[in-house]
């Protein structure tokens, strides 16, 4: 029984049309964003399921839950699903798709039909990958290293390669759409320096998607050709160099991590500004840092190959470049923190995620510097130290950014408020669960526990048990929002146009927005983050 009082409900993008065809054939960027939301959540569960089994296996030193070959498949597919089918699309395809046109005052993206095509490519890729999973999976590690993937693995390498190849094109087309939209479709008065930093960061992300993903595509294609047609490009018995594969693979896959973190930084800027009610400190520096991260991110890839056999001199070059790439990220962290100084901070759910992001991303980033140091990397490469490092950034950073953004813009997307008490509880569970899961892994790695091993010496067990315990708390923290977001769509408090009193064009239209976003094309005459002109909501507008 609907208990929500609905007086004449305004027409918006959700109620404009009903029926499955209106969703599956939509070209409305907001509906496409929701299509992505559903699909990536589904794959998040698949990847999470693999993680759960991995953590259960690692409760005991012996390999007693699954066989060794199965374990290889589990960590390989956990990585591929989480990276290619969850993290890479997540913020850009959900929040980016929804918000980019709104934030710049446009009616839609530049190419709405290509946007829908992007989603269908993602779905086709996902179906192929699911088929790969149920017909035997992939055990090459998420990285497909040759010659194991090309010559020795007995698993569904070709199918996984093709699936990720197709998913890559989904990513490329999204990036293409964003760049053209941001260049060509800004509303009158929306100059580059008035853009929200969310847009700057998504622009930088799109550059990476455009220039990096094609290299992954060709590399996977070559692996597929080699396996299917017995070409010899990576075959050592015919003079091929396995390291060539790694160079080509990491040329994309390192910038890929910036595809995953830049959008979370995009969200971070918006959250920090709103919940300190201040313009972001050093707007120009933060904007330029996004571009710098995108550019420098392409110059460091061989730091994944320090012990693989590259020359010492190139290792030195890549090590120095890897130190440099940390600088723009650090600049952003300093600027967000400086924004908070003398700000009016409210500890809403999105802000809790934002705080978590700053702390955890900083730890992840600093441990990246440890890895950039050649001497240390020799010791901790291929150990749990690396795993902890990247999970701090991808989960502690990117996923928390994603969740913070979902909560922040949920009223705009759905027209409803989520329950704030539950939101804060979930955020705290995620933070606590995350740290308990992954901090022990830094210690384990430093003590020498290798990654991708299905059994380990008994002295590592205590830390592994702690890690698994943490992962169960983390899981609860993830499930809660899924439950209460769904709940809120029916029973949540109806949201106003601007419940947070936030700056940005998206808050000037209704919640949810009409199909064409604005009743009239906005004309922008104010700077970004003009919080001095926006009244704070009486209390932060939350449901107790």
Q: List residues binding other proteins (CB under 8 A).
A: 106-112, 172, 176, 179-181, 183-185, 210-215, 217-219, 221-222, 225-226, 229-233, 237-241, 243-244, 247-248, 251, 298-299, 301-302, 310-314, 317-318, 516
The enclosing H or E element of 101 equals helix 97-104
* 297 Cβ neighbours under 8 A, 6+ residues apart: 208, 254, 255, 257, 258, 325
Say which residue the tokens 């998913």 belong to. Answer: 167
Backbone angles phi, psi at 494, to 5 degrees: -70, 135
Residue 540 CA to residue 500 CA, distance in Å, equals: 6
Q: How far is the CB of 313 from other proteins (least distance, A)?
A: 4
Contact 208, 260 (CB under 8 A): no
Q: How far is the CB of 107 from other proteins (least distance, A)?
A: 4
Judged by DSSP in three states, 20 sits in helix
Backbone angles phi, psi at 450, to 5 degrees: -75, 155
Q: How far is the CB of 387 from other proteins (least distance, A)?
A: 26
Q: Which is nearer to other proteins, 115 or 346 (CB)?
A: 115
Q: Which is nearer to other proteins, 67 or 191 (CB)?
A: 191
Torsion angle, alpha carbons of 60, 63, 69, 73, to 10? -10
Check residue 317 and report its DSSP letter: H
Q: How far is the CB of 391 from other proteins (least distance, A)?
A: 27
Query: Could you tell me which of 272, 259, 253, 257 has the C-alpha nearest to residue 201?
Result: 259
Contact 173, 114 (CB under 8 A): yes
Alpha-carbon separation of residue 270 from 99, 196, 205, 291, 360 (angstroms): 12, 8, 16, 17, 18
Q: How far is the CB of 166 from other proteins (least distance, A)?
A: 14
Q: Which is nearer to other proteins, 175 or 350 (CB)?
A: 175
Q: Which is nearer to other proteins, 244 or 376 (CB)?
A: 244
Q: How far is the CB of 242 from other proteins (least distance, A)?
A: 12
Q: Which is nearer to other proteins, 18 or 229 (CB)?
A: 229
Q: Which is nearer to other proteins, 177 or 346 (CB)?
A: 177
H-type alpha helices, 448-504: 461-491
Q: How far is the CB of 291 from other proteins (least distance, A)?
A: 12
Q: How far is the CB of 228 from other proteins (least distance, A)?
A: 11
Q: Which is nearer to other proteins, 112 or 282 (CB)?
A: 112
Q: Which is nearer to other proteins, 239 or 538 (CB)?
A: 239
């Amino acid at each position: 029984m609907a208990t929500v009082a609905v007086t004449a409900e305004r027409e918006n993008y959700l109620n404009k049309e009903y029926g499955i065809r209106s969703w599956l054939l939509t070209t409305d960027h907001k509906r496409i964003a929701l299509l992505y939301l559903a699909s990536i959540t589904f794959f998040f569960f698949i990847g999470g399921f693999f993680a759960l089994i991995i953590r259960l296996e690692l409760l005991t030193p012996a390999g007693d839950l699954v066989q060794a070959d199965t374990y290889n498949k589990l960590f390989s597919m956990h990585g591929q699903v989480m990276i290619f089918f969850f993290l890479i699309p997540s913020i850009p395809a959900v929040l980016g798709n929804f918000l980019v046109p709104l934030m710049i005052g446009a009616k839609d993206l530049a190419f709405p039909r290509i946007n829908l095509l992007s989603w269908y490519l993602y779905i086709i890729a996902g179906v192929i990958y699911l088929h790969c999973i149920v017909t035997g999976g992939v055990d090459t590690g998420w990285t497909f290293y040759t010659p194991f993937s090309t010559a020795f693995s007995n698993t569904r390498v070709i199918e996984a390669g093709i699936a990720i190849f197709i998913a890559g094109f989904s990513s490329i087309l999204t990036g293409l759409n964003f760049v053209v939209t941001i260049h060509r479709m800004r509303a009158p008065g929306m100059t580059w320096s008035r853009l929200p930093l969310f847009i700057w960061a998504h622009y930088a992300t799109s550059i990476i998607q455009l220039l990096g993903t094609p290299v992954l595509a060709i590399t996977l294609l070559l692996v597929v050709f080699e396996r299917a047609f017995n070409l010899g490009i990576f075959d050592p018995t015919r003079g091929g160099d396995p390291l060539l594969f790694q160079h080509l693979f990491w040329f994309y896959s390192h910038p890929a991590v910036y595809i995953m973190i830049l959008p979370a930084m995009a969200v971070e800027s918006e959250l920090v500004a709103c919940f300190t009610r201040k313009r972001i400190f050093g707007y120009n520096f933060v904007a330029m840092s996004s571009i710098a991260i995108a550019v420098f991110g392409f110059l460091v890839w061989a730091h994944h190959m320090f012990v693989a056999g590259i020359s010492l001199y190139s290792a030195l070059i890549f090590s120095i470049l890897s130190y440099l790439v940390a600088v723009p990220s650090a600049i952003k962290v300093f600027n967000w923190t400086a924004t908070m100084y003398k700000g009016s901070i409210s500890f809403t759910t999105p802000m809790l995620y934002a705080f978590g992001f700053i702390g955890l991303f900083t730890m992840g980033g600093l441990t990246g510097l440890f890895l950039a140091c050649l001497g240390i990397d020799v010791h901790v490469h291929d150990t749990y130290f690396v795993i902890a490092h990247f999970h701090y950034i991808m989960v502690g950073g990117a996923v928390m950014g994603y969740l913070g953004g979902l909560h922040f813009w949920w009223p705009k997307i759905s027209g409803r408020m989520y329950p704030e008490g539950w939101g804060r509880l979930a955020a705290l569970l995620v933070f606590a669960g995350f740290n308990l899961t992954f901090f022990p892994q830094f210690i384990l790695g430093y003590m020498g526990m290798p990654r991708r091993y299905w059994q380990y010496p008994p002295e590592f067990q205590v830390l592994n048990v702690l890690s698994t315990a943490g992962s169960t708390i983390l899981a609860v923290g993830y499930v809660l929002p899924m439950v209460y977001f769904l709940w809120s769509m029916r029973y949540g408090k109806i949201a106003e146009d601007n419940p947070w009193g936030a700056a940005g064009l998206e808050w000037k239209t209704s919640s949810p927005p009409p199909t064409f976003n604005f009743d009239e094309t906005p004309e922008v005459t104010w700077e970004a983050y003009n919080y001095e002109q926006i009244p704070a909501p009486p209390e932060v507008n939350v449901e107790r």
